[in-house]
Amino acid sequence: MPWSLTVGYVYGTAVRIHVTFLLFLAWIWVAYYQRGGAGAAWEGVAFVALLFLCVLLHEFGHIFAARRYGVKTPEVTLWPFGGIARLERIPEKPSEELVVALAGPAVNVVIAAVLLVFLGGNVGVEHIEAIENPQVSLLAKLAAANIFLVVFNLIPAFPMDGGRVLRALLAMKMSHAQATQMAASIGQGLAIGLGVLGIFGNPMLIIIAVFVFLAASGEAGQVQMKQAAQGLLVEDAMITQFETLGPTASVGDAAEALIRTTQKDFPIVDGAEHLRGVLTRDAMIAALQAQGPGASVLEAMQADVPTVGTRTPLDRALALITQRGAPVVGVLDGAGRLVGLLSPENVGEMMMLRAAQPDARFGPWAKRPAPSRPV
């Protein structure tokens, strides 16, 4: 995820903060400063920071529930609109997805309950004057915010937890893909409703509505892509015509190949046709700037490129691309030689063609050069 800073690791999950979240904190500071000076500004920032600590704990509710089912979470990112935990996969068993989806809001229920009990004791008869105490009012606001988080997250629309709860419940009666499609449609309907409400009321609702609408179609698209890949093998979708670079090539040679071809990622292959790594266009440009054209491709390349066999199911290779965030996946034959490449773009094109012509499994596009794009 670009534009986010890693602030630490919890049980192997990277905790990241998106740059827009820091801008949001700065905006809160300025807004409160204009209203009540530096004291109010820091108080406002403290409240938002505490609120997002609750959001983070909410995400760890999902993360720890998912761990119970053997699902790891490489990272969780805080955005101004909330936290997003990138689970390696969503458990497809409806009962498991239900538990994982509910575990987040459950954390906020507990936080709100603890705060209310604490405040109930504190704001009792003998401390009635404490309501004026800014620390108590901060905690009271925090309790209210946690209750809001529970209600907001249970809106039955993706990517809110309520959308996953809805899908899990629907998936108990129908297939996962059907349940996703239906949950996404319900979510989009709700988003339109929210947007209309926003026009007449709070404009913030319009932003939430657009976000919910896009997220719902994204979720449905991912499941459709996975479904379309079913029954296909890597060799059906891989690129077989591409240029490779030898281990002794320089970044300057790579730059020439970049201009000469439509490729943007170049595999580095040794004499035995074994894949040593991949030099992406971005890495190439960075190396040109830092070290000039004489630099070795071995130093500039990405070495840990995931690889699959030609007979690997395509959906498993797709999962590898999304999990590892890899630019390409190398396809190896039985002897470990590089015979093909898979990129998110060429797989996406394959899917579009397949959607247009569902029965064409070994169409002419199965063995065609890399998708052309301007370099």
Q: How far is the CB of 109 from Zn ion (least distance, A)?
A: 12
Contact pattern for Zn ion over residues 51 through 90, marking x by CB under 5 A: ----------------------------------------
Q: Is 161 in the site for Zn ion (CB under 5 A)?
A: yes
Q: Residues 300, 282: contact at Cβ < 8 Å?
A: no
Choice between 56 and 350, CB closer to Zn ion: 56
Q: With CB under 5 A as the contact rule, which of the stretches 100-108, 272-280, 291-299, 303-311 interacts with Zn ion?
A: 100-108
Tokens representing 1 are 């995820």
Choice between 56 and 238, CB closer to Zn ion: 56
Choice between 108 and 343, CB closer to Zn ion: 108
Q: With CB under 5 A as the contact rule, which of the stretches 99-107, 200-208, 270-278, 280-288 interacts with Zn ion?
A: 99-107
Q: Residues 267, 331: contact at Cβ < 8 Å?
A: no
The residue with its CB nearest to Zn ion is: 104
Choice between 97 and 161, CB closer to Zn ion: 161
Give the position of tokens 């990622």: 265
Please provide the DSSP assignment of 253-302 as one string. Answer: HHHHHHHHSS-SEEEEE-TT--EEEEEEHHHHHHHHHHH-TTSBHHHHSB
Q: How far is the CB of 84 from Zn ion (least distance, A)?
A: 9
Tokens representing 315 are 């959906």
Under DSSP, the state recorded for 370 is P
Choice between 110 and 355, CB closer to Zn ion: 110
Q: With CB under 5 A as the contact rule, which of the stretches 44-52, 154-162, 255-263, 329-337 interacts with Zn ion?
A: 154-162
**Cα distance from N-terminal residue to C-terminal residue, the chain:** 24
Within 13 Å, how many C-alpha atoms sit on residue 333's CB side? 8
Choice between 102 and 326, CB closer to Zn ion: 102
Q: How far is the CB of 55 from Zn ion (least distance, A)?
A: 9
Residues 6+ apart with CB under 8 A from 145: 51, 54
The C-alpha atoms of residue 89 and residue 319 are separated, in whole angstroms, by: 9
Which chain residues interact with Zn ion by CB under 5 A? 104, 161
